[in-house]
Structure 1
Amino acid sequence: MAVIDDADIPVWDLYELSIPCAVFGRPQPELADRWYDLRLCGLRPGAGPLGPGFGVGIPYGLDELARADTVIVTSVPEACVTEGAELPAELIDALRAAAAAGARMVSLCNGSFALAAAGILDGRRATAHWAHTADLARRYPKVRVDDSVLYVDDGDVLTSAGMAAGLDLCLHLVRRDLGAHVANQLARAMVVPAHRPGGQAQFIDRSVPASDDDGLAPVLQWAREHLAEPLTVEDLARRAAMSPRTFFRRVQAATGSTPLQWLLHQRLARAQTLLETTGLPVERVSELSGLGTAANLRRHFTLHVGVTPTDYRRAFPRTTAG
């Protein structure tokens, strides 16, 4: 896996660079026997200054991209986003060569401008930080820009919005490669949400922030622990001591999705973990995850995960008895 950094990015974009380093950069023997081999690449290998007191070592040049199975582009310089400045030709050539060689191409935040400049996003759905999606659409009209989502998984090309959405996308990659159980355990170690679906809204209005004791967090945790039970918005609202209308509004403001959408994603995540870590029949997995019948599980699983439960289980050998 190759991560591209540009030594000219400002110090505040160090966050985007740190995300893949935190997720993929060190072995995780307690989670998987084999982990990612992360290599930081740039136009000018060596130490790159990012600002007063900051620097980053870039051990590899762009020729490393030709050997990578995944290439991640972090934020590009601001001038390339807002002022139409051109990215270096050698970077564009290296990205095109990596894509042609079959590498999975990934961008975080405004790294999508680099993929777009290389033509990799032509005809594809993609996203970027919401403040710059209009610029992306204007400069690259062949890209189907979606400014409303956290990240887009278009198979071998994935793009994300800024900041925390980049972390969501990296955890999504772990989930795709190594399974929901590994991704959940890694997220727990990092003390971040285990799974935020890419279709969740980028901008969530938190003008009135929820407090720890507003009744929402405890009831959502309770719901996660009782997914096998029939749960309705009315039941959860009653447990939270709210009206259904208020509960609906609070959940949507906090998560970017409706209560029923949130429940569905939690149930699918539970089903993924059960398929990976147990030998339970699909019928029992559907019951324990709260999706009812095996047919219902197959329908939602195929729609949201992209494969059948059986095919998903084949891709992830069982790690524990059950």
Structure 2
Amino acid sequence: MSRRVDVLIFPGFQLLDAAGPVAAFEAARGYELHVISAAGGPVRSSSGVSWLAEGIPRGDRDTLLVSGGEGVDAATLDEALVKLLRRASRKWGRVSSVCSGSLLLAAGGLLDGRTATTHWSRTAQFERQFPQVQLQPERIFVHDGPIWTSAGVTAGIDLALAIIGHDLGPDAARAVAQELVVYYRRPGGQSQFSALLSMQGDRNRFEALLDHVRKNLAQRHNVEDMAAQACMSPRHFARAFHEETGYTPAKAVERLRVEAARSALEIPGASVQRIAVECGFGDPERMRRSFIRLLGVPPSTLRRAAPRN
């Protein structure tokens, strides 16, 4: 049986906020997709491209996904739309948002007392307007009970993949990621400001190498091995790598491992021993020391702080 997803748009919505998740749900072949708006009819996006929307559906539905975009500030002042969102938790079994769409959910009171995320550029505004929400601005997406929120723009695809994995299983989500030619998966604990991005310098000389390390964290990555990958002598590689990224090769590998392990810890029931091995630490004690060194807290603290779904 297909699950219905209603994608809510408004004047000035961001096209990719809506189109990315729509493409993911379409590829999953287990969803009935509808684009809706408060009044129905053509809705102009911030790019100038218009989408034809249906009106608000009657009866109970499965999933609501609220787009973000430049028009979100005006949308939060639309009393009819905010009133609709206040009733959303009763009408839809699951409510989600992409990018700054979380501001609309917050305006409707759906995020009160909950953990959520939003586009990084909206962090100050969000915290000022909605202090009752536990904002985690670095997160790619957050799942707190029936509410799902994601960070900016393309993070909506990550959100959709996570929902597909939740509904249909990880194999289905992985197949969708392969069809869309995107990574499966950037887990929800990953920062919008990822370790990989922070180490990519202006010249991007080591982008392929860092991507290789990230995809093969369980392998050994010493200076000699990484230098060989980069076709450089170990001495020249170590100097050039530090100049380009700001990190020694060892520190860069450690940061990538900690980021991956931090994300994996949010998976319910995941074995700490297995995470330590798969992320290349070898054992939980080495992983604990790296977490304290880079994050200031042990893995156990982050696991306890993760939302219980």
Fold similarity call, TM over 0.5: yes
Tell me how far apart the structure 2 counterparts of residues 126 and 70 of structure 1 sit (CA, whole Å): 17
Pair 1:143–1:262, CA change in 2 (3 A): closer
Aligned to 1:9: 12
* AA in 2 matched with 1:217: A
Q: Which runs of 5+ in 1 are unaligned?
A: 29-34, 276-282, 294-299, 307-322
**Are residues 52 and 181 of structure 1, via their aligned partners in 2, closer, same or farther at CA, if it must alter by over 3 Å?**
closer
Separation in 2 of the partners of 1:183 and 1:258? 27
Taking structure 1 as reference, are residues 14 and 219 closer, same or farther at Cα in structure 2, changes over 3 Å only? closer
Q: Which residue of 2 aligns with 1:188?
A: 178
Q: Supply the distance in 2 between the matched residues of 1:155 and 1:25 (Cα, whole angstroms).
A: 24
What value does the CA root-mean-square deviation take over the aligned residues?
A: 4.3
Name which of 101, 118, 129 aligns with 1:128.
Answer: 118
Shift of 1:188: 1.9
Corresponding residue number in structure 1 for 2:25: 24
**1:233 touches 1:260 (CA, 8 Å); kept in 2?**
no
| Equivalent runs, 1:96-175 vs 2, <5 Å | 96-101=86-91, 103-175=93-165
Check the 8 A contact 1:251/1:258 in 2, yes or no: no
Q: Does 1:49 align with 2:44?
A: yes
Shift of 1:87: 3.2
Greater RCO, 1 or 2 (C-alpha within 8 Å, sep 6+)? 2
Residue 184 of structure 1 deviates from its aligned partner by 2.1
Q: Which aligned pairs between 1:65-80 and structure 2 lie closer than 5 A? A: 66-75=59-68, 77-78=70-71, 80=73
Deviations 1:219-246 (A, max 9, x none): 643774x6665x3565764555543984
- Name 1:208's counterpart in structure 2: 201
Q: Name the amino acid aligned to 2:9.
A: D
Answer yes or no: is the 8 Å Cα contact 2:72–2:100 preserved in 1.
Answer: no
Q: How many residues align?
A: 274
Determine helix, strand or coil for the equivalent of 1:183: helix
Q: CA deviation at 1:174?
A: 1.8
Distance of 2:72 and 2:253 partners within structure 1: 31
Cα distance, 1:5 vs structure 2: 0.8
Question: 5+ residue gaps in structure 2?
Answer: 284-298
Using the alignment, how far apart are the partners of 1:49 and 1:188 within structure 2?
A: 31
Pick from 202, 207, 212 the counterpart of residue 221 of structure 1.
Answer: 212
Is the 1:251–1:257 Cα contact (8 Å) retained in structure 2? no
Alignment match, 2:56: 62
Residue of structure 2 in register with 1:93 after alignment: 83
Deviation at 1:93, TM superposition (A): 2.9
Q: Offset at 1:218?
A: 4.5
Aligned to 2:288: none
1:219-278 CA distances to partner (integer Å, 9 max, x unpaired)?
A: 643774x6665x3565764555543984985799xx999121255479x69xx9xx9xxx
**What is the CA distance between 1:286 and its match in structure 2?**
10
Measure the CA separation in 2 of the matches of 1:256 and 1:167: 27
For the structure 1 residues 19 and 176, does the alpha-carbon distance in structure 2 shift closer, same or farther, using more than 3 Å as the test?
same
- Contact 1:5/1:42 (8 A) holds in 2: yes
* Preserved contact between residue 87 and residue 114 of structure 1 (Cα < 8 Å): no
| Whole-angstrom distance in 1 between the partners of 2:107 and 2:85 | 10
The answer to whether the 8 Å contact 1:216/1:251 transfers is no
Cα offset, 1:9, TM superposition? 1.1
**Partner of 1:243: helix, strand, or coil?**
helix
What's the CA shift for 1:148?
2.0
Q: What's the TM-score, normalizing by structure 1?
A: 0.67
Return the letter of the residue paired with 1:16. D
Give the C-alpha shift of residue 136 in structure 1.
1.1
Could you say if the C-alpha distance between residues 236 and 98 of structure 1 is closer, same or farther in structure 2, counting changes exceeding 3 Å?
farther
Instruction: Tell me the distance in 2 between the aligned counterparts of 1:151 and 1:256.
Output: 24
